[in-house]
Amino acid sequence: MFPTKAKTLHRLLRFRHTVWCSPFGKASSSRLVLGIETSCDETGAAVLDETGEILGESLHSQKDVHLRTGGIIPTVAQQLHRENIERVVQEALERSNVDVSQLSAVATTVKPGLALSLGIGLEFSQRFVRRHSKPFIPIHHMEAHALTVRMLQPVSFPFLVLLVSGGHSLLAVARGVDDFLLLGHSLDEAPGDTLDKVARRLSLIKHPRCSMLSGGQAIELLAKDGDWKKFRFRTPMGQSYDCCFSFSGLRNQVTMAIMKKEAEEGIEQGTLLSCVNDIAAATQHTVARHLAKRTHRAILFCKANGLLPSSSPTLVLSGGVASNQYIRKALTIITDMTGLHLLCPPAKFCTDNGVMIAWNGVERLREGKGILSPNVDVYYEPKAPLGVDMTAEVKAAAIKLPSVRMKILN
- CA gap 216, 197 in Å, rounded: 9
Q: Which does 323 bind (CB under 5 to 8 A by kind): ligand KG4, Zn ion, none?
A: ligand KG4
- CA gap 367, 111 in Å, rounded: 20
Phi, psi of 36 (to 5 degrees): -130, 130
Q: In this complex, which beta carbon is closest to Zn ion, that of residue 98 or of residue 116?
A: 116
Binding site for ligand KG4 (CB under 6 A): 40, 165-167, 192-193, 195-196, 214-217, 220, 319-321, 323-324, 351-352
134, 95 contact by CB (below 8 A)? no
- CA gap 334, 295 in Å, rounded: 8
Q: Which does 324 bind (CB under 5 to 8 A by kind): ligand KG4, Zn ion, none?
A: ligand KG4
Q: In this complex, which beta carbon is closest to Zn ion, that of residue 236 or of residue 319?
A: 319
**Pairing relationship of beta strands 159-164 and 169-176 according to DSSP bridges:** antiparallel
Q: How many residues does the chain have?
A: 410
Least distance to ligand KG4 from the beta carbon of 220, Å? 4
Give the residue closest to Zn ion by C-beta. Answer: 352
Closest CA to 207 of 276, 255, 278: 276
231, 278 contact by CB (below 8 A)? yes
Q: In this complex, which beta carbon is closest to Zn ion, that of residue 165 or of residue 335?
A: 165
Only segment of 13-21, 47-55, 348-356, 376-384 that touches Zn ion (CB under 5 A): 348-356
Q: Which does 138 bind (CB under 5 to 8 A by kind): Zn ion, ligand KG4, none?
A: none
- CA gap 358, 139 in Å, rounded: 9
Q: In this complex, which beta carbon is closest to Zn ion, that of residue 18 or of residue 117?
A: 117
Q: Which does 162 bind (CB under 5 to 8 A by kind): ligand KG4, Zn ion, none?
A: none
Least distance to ligand KG4 from the beta carbon of 101, Å? 33
**Residue 331 has what DSSP assignment?**
H
36, 106 contact by CB (below 8 A)? yes
Q: Which does 288 bind (CB under 5 to 8 A by kind): Zn ion, ligand KG4, none?
A: none
Binding letters toward Zn ion, positions 294-333, x by CB under 5 A: ----------------------------------------
Q: Which amino acid is at 381?
A: E
The DSSP bridge partners found for residue 317 are 162
| 77 SS3 class | helix
Binding letters toward Zn ion, positions 160-189, x by CB under 5 A: -----x------------------------
Out of 352, 357, 359, 370, point to the residue binding Zn ion (CB under 5 A): 352
Footprint of Zn ion (CB under 5 A): 165, 352
